[in-house]
Amino acid sequence: MPFRSISSFSGSRFARFARTVHSAWPRVAQAALPNLCALCGNLSHTTICAGCDAAYWNEGRLRCTVCAVPLSVTRWAARTQYRCADCASEPPPFDATFALADYRAPLDTLAVGLKFRARLMLAHEFGRRLARLAQDSWLELAEWPDAIAPVPLARKRLIERGYNQAWQIARPLARALHVRSDATLLHRVIHTAPQSRLDLDARRLNVGRAFKVAGSVQGLHVGIVDDVMTTGATLEALARTLKAAGARRVTNFVALRTPKN
């Protein structure tokens, strides 16, 4: 009987030890193994090395403040407070968009790595950079969002992938901005076809009624997070849904932006 008790106690302690080692292993491996730049593959102390950071991230392009599409520097752009022709003539339902860079090589490999290869450390990099971009742009506390939510995935797609890449970006972004993040604020109620296969009109029709708001947003400034903004159809649909539910303002946070056309 005493032998059984000691054996059971030892087994329990070993099981707890094994679980602790297993849960800590990713952090141990990260500390012990050298980090490689996600772009060039060279040794780096950071996710993106200093050389790639200088070459690809700090492009300093003028962008439309509403949809973040790249602009040419013109007198017309200055007179319209840096709005593209489309946003000046027909404003979308969202109010502003922050984008880190254009969706182009080699930065496109970062989005692919996050979305399809579970390179989740890239989400933290995107979130940190988006927070810094927003902080540098906002002059008043009133401009900061009250809540940040990811573009929701359909349940089937979430199960297949195992994670929502937009939520992985939203969490570190919200922490850096000291605002609330909510993974369940927005729900996708219709399983839509992948947007990448459709043109602009088809994309808008595809997601037009795909979302609903699960919580109260009356009078709130809501930030929506996604990895890539292409035509903006999904973000338009979400902003329209949020505004209909009483949101005061909607700001998009996207890692990479492609031209509208």
Residue 156 lies in a domain: yes
- 138 band by pLDDT with thresholds 50, 70 and 90: confident
Residue 7 lies in a domain: no
Residue 124 lies in a domain: yes
pLDDT above 90: percentage of residues in the chain: 62
Average pLDDT along the chain: 83
Residue 35 lies in a domain: no
Whole-prediction pTM: 0.80
Residue 28 lies in a domain: no
Residue 79 lies in a domain: yes
How confident is the model at residue 8, as a pLDDT?
46
Residue 4 lies in a domain: no
Residue 36 lies in a domain: no
The pLDDT of 18-33, averaged and rounded, is 50
How confident is the model at residue 3, as a pLDDT?
43
Q: Which CATH number is 105's domain given? A: 3.40.50
Helix (DSSP H) and strand (DSSP E) numbers for the chain: 10, 7
* 21-35, 153-167, 181-195, 206-220: least confidently modelled range: 21-35
Q: Which two tokens stand for residue 156?
A: 């089937």
Q: How many domains does the chain have?
A: 1
* 26-30, 87-91, 197-201, 219-223: least confidently modelled range: 26-30
The answer, yes or no, to whether residue 121 has pLDDT greater than 70, is yes
The CA–CA distances, whole Å, from 239 to 44, 139, 142, 248, 251 equal 39, 23, 19, 10, 8
The answer, yes or no, to whether residue 16 has pLDDT greater than 70, is no
From the centroid of its chain, how far is CA 125?
Answer: 10
Give residue-wise pLDDT tens across range 81-103: 689 999 999 999 999 999 999 99
Domain membership of residue 205 as a residue range:
62-257
Amino acid at 161: R
- 137 band by pLDDT with thresholds 50, 70 and 90: confident
Higher pLDDT, 188 or 209: 188
CA dihedral 37, 42, 43, 46 (to 10 degrees): -20
The CA–CA distances, whole Å, from 222 to 97, 149, 230 equal 12, 7, 20
| Separation CA 261–CA 258 (nearest Å) | 9
